Amino acid sequence: MSTREVDATEPAPVASYDAVVVGAGFAGLYAVHLLRKQGLRVRGFEEAPSVGGTWFWNRYPGARCDIESLDYCFSFSDELQAGWTWSERYAAQPEILRYLEYVAESLDLAREFTFETRVEAARFDEERDRWSVTTTAGDTIDAQFVVLAVGVLSSLKPLDFAGLDDFRGETFHTARWPAEDPDLAGRRVGVIGTGSSGVQVIPMLAERAASLTVFQRTPNFSVPARNRPLESAEIEAVKAAHPERRAQRRRTRSGFIELDPFGELQRFSAEERERILEERWAMGGGAQFLRAFTDVGLDEDSNAYVADFIRRKIRAVVDDPAVAETLVPTGYFLGTKRICVDTDYFETYNRPNVRLVDVRKDPIERFTADGVVAGSEHHELDCVVFATGFDALTGAILDVDIRGRDGRSLRDVWSAGPRTLVGLAVPGFPNLFTVTGPGSPSVLGNVVSAIEQHVEWIDDCLRHMRDHGHATVEATEEGESWWAEQARSSARGLLLEKAESWYSGANIPGKPRALLPYVGGLDTFRRVCDEIARDGYRGFLFDQAATPPERAIGDPVGTTRTLS
């Protein structure tokens, strides 16, 4: 029995679990699988009606992965790997969603989730060392742990266009695309946004619509995907070598099997540089292209050289020189926004039904009942597609009203920018974990690999707690400061430090500016996290207050349930 009594007047919790997991994308599915496997009673909550996360919501035509399918999937299970066959080099959204449904079905995960339910708030009860989680369904759940697997790109950037409510046409957001694909035949369509989502959706909309008007503020660097069906021989080779490939992938900096770089660009003659870049361009894919030389992320001249190569490619493809110049990215370093991977993106601007509007020159002033005014021109439109992006990394976490020790709100604690210990934990918020949170490598590379690392670390930490009879774990202030300095020093000298994009919160007005992901690489990050655990969870504190043994992991106050 606990030394602290439970207040009898307190409303009884609707349900009590060892862990609540929020989100049913790659991260939430894996978290539920591992925590359940170690014997914890887990409840997942997901706003969507089924699993998939990113791949449930982003159903827009043209949506595909930009990391090759053979790597953009779980690596932890030989059985899952053996039972699934990708059809294309870069799988399209329906196939990735089917893959996640296959994972959920194979591991029998869906029954652990409550769907169509948002977690609204989570409050840590210091008397009981437990979280009280409330949902949009009006339920309160009592749990020892909360794992936020809420996604790095799941909270939409708010739409702040003047007059939007006046618009009588239809509007769509790429990240909330309707399950039933809208019929755009014969319609005048506008698209706002030319990031990865815009770059993928624009060629597809151009084929369907009577006319397509693209409102571009910042042009993007994009590399052709050169997507193609996978051949059975290569699939079989990958399947046969899965354990070795998994080990190799886990040693990489970016979470996918990387081609060897050639070295520093400055060491090569002009002819050699062209040959290398042409070779990588012909292979297709943005991440491998960016990594052809080792100093593109470091050296301004090397960066400018590779950026110019892409600019030349754009000018060579786009027929109208004025349109080509508008599409050529300038004013920021290549790689300081996530590089796009496209299929016929620049070619699309040669179509007679496509028009490009430069909203840097002619800003969007307002929506009207039947269109958009940009500059002095009124563009008549039947529907508008927003590809305007996300409040990345912190948005979905802070959408939940999270209160830690002393009732302190995470929104207040992060008001000047997020601070974490290895992107996993925040001082003052015991037993709360974030997956791919700010301060972790998350979006810099293959996010699925980052997710696997994080979730496995959390799983190990909870096992450690059970083995040692701990009730709470939390990051210390010292640990957090140490990590902030590690993260800063790993970014020092990198061009990424100058990122003006969602990597640094620059896309959201008023959001504190800080480079959100850890840029030291997933390989280094993994080593650091392993060392932290090996050193008895250096930087973390177990059981801030002396804890009676019966209040260890898995034992909600007042119960004596033993975990298997």
Phi-psi region at 185: left, alpha or beta (left = phi > 0; alpha = psi -120 to 50): beta
* Contact status: 34 vs ligand FAD (CB under 6 A): no
Distances (CA, A) of 191 to 174, 329, 347, 387, 393: 10, 18, 17, 7, 24
Nearest approach in angstroms of CB 555 to ligand FAD is: 26
Q: Is 493 exposed, middle or buried (0-12, 13-18, 19+ CB in 10 A)?
A: exposed
CA 311 to chain centre: 28
- Reference 27, options 549, 353, 400, 433; nearest CA is 433
CB of 384 to ligand NAP, least distance (A): 11
Report the residue from 16, 38, 58, 81 that binds ligand FAD according to the rule CB under 6 A.
Answer: 58
| 446, 451, 453, 458 alpha-carbon torsion, rounded to 10° | 170
Number of amino acids touching ligand FAD (CB under 6 A)? 39
Q: How many residues bind ligand NAP (CB under 6 A)?
A: 25
Work out how close the CB of 399 gets to ligand NAP at its nearest, in angstroms, rounded to a whole number.
17
Return d(Cα 444, Cα 451) in angstroms, integer.
Answer: 12
Write out the binding residues for ligand FAD, residues 68-107 only, by CB under 6 A: 72
The answer to whether residue 364 forms part of the interface with ligand NAP (CB under 6 A) is: yes
* Closer Cβ to ligand FAD, 81 or 117, answer by number: 117
**What would the 3-class secondary structure string for 273-288 be?**
HHHHHHHHHHHCCHHH
Binding mask 320-359 for ligand NAP (x = CB under 6 A): ------------------x--x-----------------x
Joined together, the tokens standing for residue 389 give 């992006």
CB of 385 to ligand FAD, least distance (A): 13
The Cα 47–Cα 121 span in angstroms is 14
User: What is the smallest separation between the CB atom of 215 and ligand NAP, expressed in angstroms?
Assistant: 6
What is the spatial distance between Cα 393 and Cα 517, in angstroms, rounded to a whole number? 8
Does 384 participate in binding ligand NAP (rule CB under 6 A)?
no
Cβ distance to ligand FAD smaller for residue 302 or 507? 507
- The answer to whether 491 and 515 have CB atoms below 8 angstroms apart is yes
187 or 338: CB nearest ligand NAP: 338
Coil/strand/helix, residue 408: coil
CA dist 349 → 323, 384, 385 (Å): 8, 18, 17
507 binds ligand NAP (CB under 6 A): yes
> CA 142, CA 161: separation in Å to the nearest integer?
40
Asked if 396 is part of the footprint of ligand FAD (rule: CB under 6 A), the reply reads: yes
Burial label, 372 (beta-carbon count in 10 A; 0-12, 13-18, 19+): buried
398 touches ligand FAD by CB under 6 A: no
Binds 61: which of ligand FAD, ligand NAP, none (CB < 5-8 Å by kind):
none
Quick one: what does residue 193 bind among ligand FAD, ligand NAP, none, with the CB cut-off 5 to 8 Å set by partner type? ligand NAP
Binding region for ligand NAP (CB under 6 A) out of 25-33, 176-184, 323-331, 385-393: 385-393
Rounded Cα distance between 52 and 33, Å, is 15
- Provide, rounded to whole angstroms, the least separation between the CB of residue 365 and ligand FAD: 28
Nearer to ligand NAP, 17 or 167 (CB): 167
Task: Compare residues 47 and 382 and give the one whose CB is closer to ligand FAD.
Answer: 47
Query: Rounded CA gap, 240 and 179, in Å?
Result: 36
Piece in contact with ligand NAP (CB under 6 A), picked from 61-69, 131-139, 404-412, 530-538: 61-69
Retrieve residue 1's tokens.
């029995």
C-alpha count within 13 angstroms, C-beta hemisphere, residue 454: 33
> How many Cβ atoms sit within 10 Å of the Cβ of residue 241?
11
Q: Does 295 bind ligand FAD (CB under 6 A)?
A: no
Q: Give which of ligand FAD, ligand NAP, none residue 296 binds (C-beta under 5 to 8 Å, depending on kind).
A: none
The least distance separating ligand NAP from the CB of residue 405, rounded to whole angstroms, comes to: 34
Q: Does 28 bind ligand FAD (CB under 6 A)?
A: yes
Six-digit token string for 552: 């260890």
Q: Give CA–CA dist 411/430, Å, rounded.
A: 16
DSSP category for residue 246? H
Q: In this structure, are residues 538 and 425 in contact, taking their beta carbons and an 8 Å threshold?
A: no
- Between helix 242-250 and helix 232-240 the angle, nearest 10°, is 70
Among 156, 451, 499, 553, binds ligand FAD (CB under 6 A): 451
Segment lying near ligand FAD (by CB under 6 A), choices 40-48, 269-277, 350-358, 499-507: 40-48
Interaction between residue 195 and ligand NAP (CB under 6 A): yes
217 binds ligand NAP (CB under 6 A): yes
Sole binder of ligand FAD in the list 81, 132, 154, 288 (CB under 6 A): 154
Binding site for ligand NAP (CB under 6 A): 64-66, 153, 192-198, 200, 217-218, 338, 341, 359, 364, 387-390, 443, 502, 507
Point out which residues bind ligand FAD (CB under 6 A). Answer: 22-28, 45-48, 53-54, 56, 58, 63, 65-67, 72, 118-119, 149-154, 175, 197, 396, 399-400, 435-436, 446-448, 451
